[in-house]
Amino acid sequence: MTDHLGQKLLYLSQSDVAAVGLTMAEIIAALERMFREKGEARVEMPPKIGIHPAPDAFIHAMPASIPAQKAAGIKWVGGYPNNSKRGLPYITGLLILNDFDTGIPIALMDATWITAKRTGAATALSAKYLARPDSATVGILGCGVQGRSNLEALKVLFPLKKVYAYDTHADRSARYAEEMSLKLGIEGVSVTDPKQAVVASDIVVTAGPILRKPHATIQSGWLREGAFASLVDFDSYWQPDALHEADKFCTDDVPQLHHYRDIGYFQDIPPIHADLGELVTGRKPGRQNPKERTIACNLGLALDDMATAPLIYQRALEKGIGAWLPL
Ligand SMILES: NC(=O)c1ccc[n+]([C@@H]2O[C@H](COP(=O)([O-])OP(=O)(O)OC[C@H]3O[C@@H](n4cnc5c(N)ncnc54)[C@H](O)[C@@H]3O)[C@@H](O)[C@H]2O)c1
């Protein structure tokens, strides 16, 4: 709102962001528009920088700009694997949205909801290009926030019937299976062995903790022919041999993947077939036959957040949601 520019910014709490009512279908569409821009090299996004105050924990600075959407801003996001022991979320953060023309901050919003939803949306978008369109069974390993948002997003694009849910805490996978049946109308089956969630699934999502030293539970021979896997927790879940079974290994941003490799992740992964911008623009082919095994390892981009946050801001203005704070 130009009359507030330079005077006030809109603060949106976590419940405000959720109350705005942006749908998963809208977020997937926003990401697809953004990845088309990225594929045409019309966006700006330096690789994440961050600090690491505790082992396997991070707080990352994620700036990005999408000129076609007049979107500019930054997310400051923390990920602490041990937070759950204290009853606190793994991922938390704040996002500042700037006015594209002047750089002036126009909004400050909680980034927890956005991070959950846009990550699920990125999985679904990758799956649109890499999974079999008739994919009906999903294996979710890690039944937390991402386990939920990834299934919600996949349900938008695929005729899902059954989800096999695995979590190291059996009570969590049981709760998840029940909840997803009720919310999404997908039959939920809680399993006690991670293999059961992989071998029978058309789509596999691993969403446990990100570890510099992978626990590498998933072995070669588990991911079945024609399946697609989304590695939300990087390569933490996968033995290198299992990853190398992929016919196509994709990511959302190659420089970022190389950056992570340089700091110790992804020490043994297959060659990268394409990034998501290349898949969306058709520069590189997605799935070419029903037998291929395909993998997307989306690292999570500032661009995902910046494709989503302006829509939340606009909708909040329209609905009168949020609190104005003086600059
Ligand atoms: N790639 C991205 O864009 C992106 C974005 C956000 C979060 N993440 C990552 O996604 C992961 C999940 O985040 P979240 O917010 O859902 O966390 P969460 O704490 O809500 O859920 C994680 C779940 O994994 C379970 N778990 C732990 N170890 C496991 C294992 N070995 N096998 C199966 N389950 C296990 C936990 O019990 C918990 O239920 C984290 O690693 C996070 O860093 C990635």
What are 253-284's pLDDT values in tens digits? 999 999 999 989 999 999 999 999 999 999 99
C-alpha 143 to ligand 1 mean position (Å): 8
Mutate to test the pocket of ligand 1, among 168, 179, 236 (most ligand atoms within 8 A of CB): 168
Ligand 1 in reach of 119 Cβ (< 6 A) = yes
Residue with CA at minimum distance from ligand 1 atom 20: 144
Tally the residues of the chain: 327
Q: At what angle do helices 24-39 and 112-130 cross, to 10 degrees?
A: 70
C-alpha 106 to ligand 1 mean position (Å): 31
Q: What φ, ψ does residue 262 adopt, rounded to 5°?
A: -65, -25
Work out the pLDDT band at 47, boundaries 50, 70, 90.
Answer: confident
pLDDT at 284: 98
120-168: pLDDT as tens digits: 999 999 999 999 999 999 999 999 999 999 999 999 999 999 999 999 9
C-alpha 50 to ligand 1 mean position (Å): 19
The count of other CB atoms within 10 Å of the CB of residue 178 is 13
Ligand 1 in reach of 78 Cβ (< 6 A) = no
The count of other CB atoms within 10 Å of the CB of residue 291 is 11
pLDDT at 29: 98
pLDDT at 257: 96
Ligand 1 in reach of 172 Cβ (< 6 A) = yes
Mutate to test the pocket of ligand 1, among 215, 232, 259 (most ligand atoms within 8 A of CB): 232
Work out the pLDDT band at 4, boundaries 50, 70, 90.
Answer: confident
Question: Does the structure show a pLDDT above 80 at 192?
Answer: yes
The whole-chain average pLDDT of the chain stands at 96
pLDDT at 299: 97
Long-range contacts of residues 235-241, Cβ cutoff 8 Å, at least 24 apart: 235/265, 235/266, 235/269, 235/297, 236/206, 236/208, 236/209, 236/210, 236/211, 237/141, 237/206, 237/208, 238/206, 238/214, 239/214, 240/216, 240/268, 240/269
Q: Which residue has the tokens 């009906």?
A: 136
Work out the pLDDT band at 48, boundaries 50, 70, 90.
Answer: confident
Instruction: Give the predicted TM-score (pTM) of the model.
Output: 0.97
Q: Which residue has the tokens 């623009």?
A: 281
Residue with CA at minimum distance from ligand 1 atom 15: 145
Percent of the chain with pLDDT over 90: 95
Which stretch of DSSP H or E encloses residue 58?
A: strand 58-66
pLDDT at 2: 58
Ligand 1 in reach of 141 Cβ (< 6 A) = yes
Residue with CA at minimum distance from ligand 1 atom 25: 142
Work out the pLDDT band at 108, boundaries 50, 70, 90.
Answer: very high
